[in-house]
Amino acid sequence: MTEPTLPAPEAATASPGIAHPKTVRSFVRRAGRTTRAQARALVELGPRFVLPYRPHPLDPQAVFGRRAPLILEIGFGMGEATAQIARSRPDEDFLGCEVHEPGVGALLKRIGELALTNVRIVQHDAVEVLQHMIAPQQLDGVHIFFPDPWHKKRHHKRRLIQPPFVALLTSRLKPGGYVHCATDWQPYAEQMLEVLSAEPKLANASSDPTLGGYAPRPGYRPPTKFEQRGLRLGHGVWDLIFRRRDE
């Protein structure tokens, strides 16, 4: 299978002294304070639950010690939704990608508090994880909840949901596997709907014509505190669920 072409570098040629041009990324490594509890979780639970990034396919059975559906979550933030979903779906395994250390520590802390065994973490760029650690048709589902909307027009190229990325993502889904996105920024929701609908190997799982292609929030996705506050203020949240077509 030919890999889809991902976003090109920001510059056509490298500047003097730079080996490779800078690649457009959908995230910025923000400085954040890691609490004592998060740091303790990183030390005590990190060796068991954080997987090192390696540029070769993951063996989920070896990692989780069983055969089970595998769900990838991209950008889990502080991990509360991840922990709640994993707790409510114990027969599935969850692999979370997050680059920010406080978020990794926070999820590890919840893993310990809830005694979860079906979650693992890769602290690395999700695009490279998809390219190198996930084999074609290995995933049963993908969760992408509230990715950075990059509000300014000049930053739209940084948005994660772009045609090349969706093509890569789709290649990693099993037939019938799903991708579930959620956002509270309507212009990004509209772009997500357009991009996902244009991928020929995906089909919109929403069958309610009154929702305009969007899906009602599934019961497994817990609303975040930020989302609940926004809903009280009249702000919208849009869920999109697409499935890979059977071949």
Catalytic (active-site) positions: 148
- Strand, coil or helix: 194: helix
Q: How far are the Cα atoms of 19, 50, 224, 227 from residue 183, in angstroms, in the given order?
A: 36, 27, 12, 9
Nearest to 70 by CA among 169, 145, 144, 141: 141
Question: Both ends of the chain: CA-CA distance in Å?
Answer: 14
The helix (run of H) or strand (run of E) holding residue 186 is helix 186-198
Cβ atoms of 148 and 162 within 8 Å: the answer is no
DSSP, residue by residue, 46-112:
HHHHBPPP-SS---HHHHHSS---EEEEE--TTSHHHHHHHHH-TTSEEEEE---HHHHHHHHHHHH
Q: Give the position of tokens 């693992």.
A: 120
Token pair in block for residue 244: 């890979």
